[in-house]
């Protein structure tokens, strides 16, 4: 039997409403040289049965006690037989040409270990945003770090495929990381090989407001491992000045969200502690962000929540 080329790894936790459509979108691919591994991470709803009902012969379902999304993805990678790992969240969907587009990228740009497409962000109420679409429409970027300049994550989980050997060399996902675990892995892969092959074709729907995701579960948005990655890269002398600027830009954004969600959660002591540990260059943009956070610390809680809700609706 010919070995599969792509292993689709889907961590599943309480996504009963979505998993059928997610699996259907995978099984409908125009490129069919793949396997699917669903790892149920101790769901407490009917997700496991829903996955079984939607599964075909090429779908393997593994059940484990709840250990978090990182552990579930690692379990899927451990059982994967494909040369490439295609990541997909259990509430997102692929267009039927996603794997065909990815397969074109892996064949055209073998120098890369990371392969991505553009995606649509489903905001709800018929509203959509889109990730960045570059010109030319297909290519291979030399630096993952320069992708930080684009709105939304250019390398984003459900629209990303990585060579399995690169995932293993980077050490896989870090168990226990509740937010930003994917960004942490991409950074560690990029340290070994920073190239990113991309297509500007919109091949994925990101269901941004689906229930039981990190955005809804975690009151404080602390991507600790990824922040440590960025702090290390800010000190890396091998980066160009342009890369350092982009790394600082991303770091400032993540720190702003971390501090502000501390404020929203009512933990101003932690907010001030995080604020004082801010690293990197204090440029004008950084100073403005920090000034805004100082203002937020003394603003009424209700006003801060209102402003944050507006931000979530827009972006």
* Burial tier of 312 (Cβ tally within 10 Å: 0-12, 13-18, 19+): exposed
Q: Which helix (H) or strand (E) holds 151?
A: none
Contact 298, 264 (CB under 8 A): no
Among the listed residues 27, 78, 67, the one whose alpha carbon sits nearest the alpha carbon of residue 51: 27
Backbone angles phi, psi at 259, to 5 degrees: -65, -45
Which tens digits make up the pLDDT trace of 181-226? Answer: 999 999 999 999 999 999 999 999 999 887 555 555 568 899 999 9
Q: Mention every residue, 6+ apart, whose C-beta is less than 8 A from residue 249.
A: 148, 149, 285
pLDDT at residue 314, as a whole number: 47
Domains along the chain with CATH numbers: 6-213 (3.90.550.10), 219-314 (no CATH)
User: Per-residue pLDDT for 165 more than 90?
Assistant: yes
- Residue-level pLDDT at 302: 82
> Which pLDDT tens digit goes with each residue over 70-125?
999 999 999 999 999 999 999 999 999 999 999 999 999 999 999 999 999 999 88
Reported as a single tens digit per residue, the pLDDT across 238-260 is: 999 999 999 999 999 999 999 99
Contact indicator for 151, 132 with CB cutoff of 8 Å:
yes
Q: Which residues of 107-131 are buried (b: 16+ CB within 10 A; e: fewer)?
A: eebeebbbbbbbbbbbbeeeeeeeb
Question: Which of 36-50, 153-167, 198-212, 230-244 has the lowest average pLDDT?
Answer: 198-212
Check if the beta carbon of residue 10 is closer than 8 Å to that of residue 38: yes
3-class SS at 215? helix
Query: End-to-end CA distance of the chain, in Å?
Result: 46
DSSP 49-103: HHHHHH--TTEEEEEE----HHHHHHHHHHH--SSEEEE--TT-EE-TTHHHHHH
């Amino acid at each position: 039997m010919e070995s599969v080329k792509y292993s689709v790894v889907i961590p599943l936790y309480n996504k009963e409403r979505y998993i059928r459509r997610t699996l259907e979108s995978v099984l409908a691919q125009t490129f069919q040289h793949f396997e699917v591994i669903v790892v149920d991470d101790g769901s407490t709803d009917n997700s496991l049965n829903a996955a079984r009902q939607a599964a075909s012969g090429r779908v393997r379902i593994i059940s484990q006690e709840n250990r978090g999304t990182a552990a579930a993805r690692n379990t899927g990678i451990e059982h994967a037989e494909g040369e490439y790992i295609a990541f997909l969240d259990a509430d997102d969907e692929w267009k039927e040409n996603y794997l065909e587009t990815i397969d074109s990228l892996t064949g055209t740009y073998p120098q890369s270990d990371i392969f991505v497409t553009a995606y649509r962000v489903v905001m709800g109420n018929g509203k959509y945003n889109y990730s960045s679409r570059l010109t030319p429409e297909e290519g291979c970027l030399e630096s993952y770090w320069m992708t930080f300049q684009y709105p939304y994550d250019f390398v984003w989980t459900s629209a990303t495929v990585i060579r399995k050997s690169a995932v293993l060399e980077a050490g896989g996902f870090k168990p226990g990381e509740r937010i930003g675990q994917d960004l942490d892995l991409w950074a560690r892969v990029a340290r070994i090989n920073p190239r990113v092959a991309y297509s500007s074709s919109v091949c994925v729907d990101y269901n941004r407001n689906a229930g039981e995701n990190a955005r809804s579960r975690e009151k404080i948005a602390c991507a600790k491992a990824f922040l440590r990655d960025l702090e290390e890269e800010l000190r890396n002398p091998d980066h160009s000045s342009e890369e350092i600027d982009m790394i600082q830009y991303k770091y400032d954004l993540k720190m702003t969200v971390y501090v502000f969600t501390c404020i929203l959660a009512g933990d101003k002591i932690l907010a001030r502690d995080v604020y004082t540990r801010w690293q990197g260059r204090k440029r004008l943009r950084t100073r403005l962000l920090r000034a805004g956070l100082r203002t937020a610390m003394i603003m009424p809680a209700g006003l801060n929540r209102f402003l944050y809700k507006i931000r979530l609706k827009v972006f």
